[in-house]
Structure 1
Amino acid sequence: MNIKELRYYHDLVIQKNFSKVATHFGVAQPTITMAIQRLERELGAPLFIRSQSHHDLTVTASGLQFDQHVQTILRELEVAHQELSRAKQERIRFGLPPIIGNYFFPAYTPALLAAGLLQRLEVEDHGSRELTKMLAHGIIDMALLGSLAPLQQDSFSTQVITRAPIQIIVAPDHPLATRTTGVSFQDLKKEPFITLANEYVHAQAFHQVSRAAGVRPKVVFKTHDVHVLKTLVAKNSGISFLTTLALEPQDHLVALPLLDLGAPEFIISVATRANRLLSPYGQELWGLLADEHD
């Protein structure tokens, strides 16, 4: 069994036609036929049910099960190629979600610059959900990720760096602004909300809190831009739900703690693939971000 045979096999599962697979790989049809026969002999199980003409195929249950393993092998091989290529270039593909990139990561840049690491970063800025997928598929090497609970994924190595509450934010002249000891979500059922778009962790937190409180909040506007959200709240266009990490004095906003049991917090972790062998530069970056928080 070799990689080329596995590629033939996976394509045949998709195409279900020997001649199409042969054309796709630029080989003679008997090459594909013999490769599949070798796999079936080695595995001791039929992988396809062939029609009389051998043109149309049905994948057996064993064949479908084997294809799941083949896909994993081919995917891991592709990830290995990507990681080795980046290691040669001494570059680090680094995932950075918008809120973390704008309000948390800048504190690290002096140390990264002094260590010669800042210029080695190729930053991918997406929401944490998308970056998690990219990390799992080996598209990026490392990421800072936002979550509502510590990340628990067997395929990742992670370290929590910091936590910050997610609170209700209002304009200073809003009637709720004096309730600095906190509010319950039930108190807000008639308030117009301005929220972040679904790719933000905040959307998940907002859904959890409203469901737990039995409230169907009135969302008047959704945005991808944290700055726009804060500006609209400051102008009393509505209230919002935001981590205190993203608040700055110049925003002129009031943050109110949520009194509900299990009020969410915004957790920032650094993460990489568990089976990823970090380059020396990657190890140094991990150390700067994670080790001091152990």
Structure 2
Amino acid sequence: MKIRDLEYFIELVKDKNFSVVADHFQVSQPTITMAINRLEEEYGTTFFIRDHIHHQITVTKIGQQYAQHVRAILSELAVARREIEHAKLNKIRFGLPPIIGNYYFPPLTPRLLRSNLIDKLEVTEEGSENLLQMLLRGELDMALLGSASPLQQPELSVKEFAQYPFHIIMSRDHQLAKKQDLQFADLKGQSFILPDTDFIHEKAFRRMCRLAHIRPKVIYRTNDIHIIKNMVAENLGISFLTELAITANDRLVDLALADPQQPVFHLSLAARHNEILSPAKEKLWELILDYGGKKN
């Protein structure tokens, strides 16, 4: 079986036209035909029904099933190529969401320096959802990820090592600044200044709105947490942030919510399940988990 035959097969499943597939790969149409014949002969089955009169191709049920396996095979091979090419560079492709990068990761840098890891890192800063997809595609070796629920991905090795509640921050001059036992329903009618929708906060925020039967008034979104805090400090609105992103120097009122069954911000370290970690990657994995265990 040739890998190229599988690539021809998947393209034919998509386009259902031998000529189009041949043009796509810049080969002759008989090349595509012979490749498909080889696959069908190898398995002793028919993947495509050819209607020569109407010049149509139909993918059989068996062909559709086989296509699912072939897509997975080609995806894994693409990941393997990227991993092999990157391994030659002796670098670690590391994913770091903005909030985790700004508020959790900095104290780790001295340890990374002492372990001679800092110069091996190629850091990609994206939201956790984007980093998760990059990790699954093999574009990253490892990532710190935030999630609104425990992260469960069969393709990944995941170690959760910290949880942070979500809090409400507001100006010291806000009318609710001294309220005791604040519940989310008390925030009805308030103006919210929030992280962009690709942050994990969005899922947790929407869940709280549903539970409290609130249609939120969101006046501004940004991926810059410092801008959010500055706007809140000016009493332009309130915000919903993970406790991880709130510090004693923010000049804000930080209120925990009294609601039951609140979502929490889960912090996890993840890598592809089938990747054999190099010594440098193993050292980084252990260092992060060790720091997380001592910090929490």
TM-score by length of structure 1 reads 0.94
Deviations 1:213-235 (A, max 9, x none): 11222222222211111111000
> Contact conserved, 2:170 with 2:239, CA < 8 A, in 1?
yes
Q: CA deviation at 1:182?
A: 3.3
Question: Which residue of structure 2 aligns with residue 6 of structure 1?
Answer: 6
Q: How many Å separate the matches in 2 of 1:53 and 1:15?
A: 18
Q: CA deviation at 1:155?
A: 1.1
Question: Which residue of structure 2 aligns with residue 126 of structure 1?
Answer: 126
Counterpart residue type for residue 106 of structure 2: P
> Residues 273 and 117 from structure 1, CA distance in 2 versus in 1: closer, same or farther, beyond 3 angstroms?
same
Identify unmatched segments of 5+ residues in structure 2.
Answer: none
Q: CA deviation at 1:191?
A: 1.5
Question: Which residue of structure 2 aligns with residue 206 of structure 1?
Answer: 205
Question: Which residue of structure 1 aligns with residue 33 of structure 2?
Answer: 33
Counterpart residue type for residue 149 of structure 2: A
After the TM superposition, which residues 5-84 of structure 1 pair with which residues of structure 2 at under 5 Å, given as runs?
5-52=5-52, 56-84=56-84
Q: How many Å separate the matches in 2 of 1:275 and 1:148?
A: 25
Q: How many Å separate the matches in 1 of 2:152 and 2:270?
A: 11
Deviations 1:136-195 (A, max 9, x none): 11111110000122211111111112222210101112122223x530011111211111
Q: How many Å separate the matches in 2 of 1:53 and 1:82?
A: 44
Q: How many Å separate the matches in 1 of 2:291 and 2:224?
A: 31
Aligned residues between the structures? 293
**Cα RMSD after superposing both structures:** 1.7
> Contact conserved, 2:108 with 2:291, CA < 8 A, in 1?
no
Q: How many Å separate the matches in 1 of 2:139 and 2:93?
A: 8
Identify unmatched segments of 5+ residues in structure 1.
Answer: none
Question: Which residue of structure 2 aligns with residue 272 of structure 1?
Answer: 271
Bigger drift between 248-257 and 131-140 goes to: 248-257
After the TM superposition, which residues 216-227 of structure 1 pair with which residues of structure 2 at under 5 Å, given as runs?
216-227=215-226
> Contact conserved, 1:82 with 1:139, CA < 8 A, in 2?
yes
> Residues 264 and 246 from structure 1, CA distance in 2 versus in 1: closer, same or farther, beyond 3 angstroms?
same
Bigger drift between 130-139 and 35-44 goes to: 35-44
Question: Which residue of structure 2 aligns with residue 289 of structure 1?
Answer: 288
Counterpart residue type for residue 96 of structure 2: L
Counterpart residue type for residue 236 of structure 1: N
Counterpart residue type for residue 71 of structure 1: R
Counterpart residue type for residue 69 of structure 1: H
Q: CA deviation at 1:53?
A: 6.4
Question: Which residue of structure 1 aligns with residue 116 of structure 2?
Answer: 116
Q: How many Å separate the matches in 2 of 1:22 and 1:219?
A: 51
Deviations 1:190-221 (A, max 9, x none): 21111111101111111001101112222222
SS at 1:272 equivalent: strand
> Contact conserved, 1:169 with 1:256, CA < 8 A, in 2?
yes
> Contact conserved, 1:18 with 1:55, CA < 8 A, in 2?
no
> Contact conserved, 1:161 with 1:289, CA < 8 A, in 2?
no
> Residues 54 and 89 from structure 1, CA distance in 2 versus in 1: closer, same or farther, beyond 3 angstroms?
farther
Q: How many Å separate the matches in 2 of 1:54 and 1:66?
A: 25
> Residues 28 and 54 from structure 1, CA distance in 2 versus in 1: closer, same or farther, beyond 3 angstroms?
farther
TM-score by length of structure 2 reads 0.94
Q: How many Å separate the matches in 2 of 1:186 and 1:24?
A: 57
Q: How many Å separate the matches in 2 of 1:234 and 1:28?
A: 67
Question: Which residue of structure 2 aligns with residue 243 of structure 1?
Answer: 242
Question: Which residue of structure 2 aligns with residue 104 of structure 1?
Answer: 104
Q: How many Å separate the matches in 2 of 1:17 and 1:174?
A: 65
Q: CA deviation at 1:291?
A: 4.2
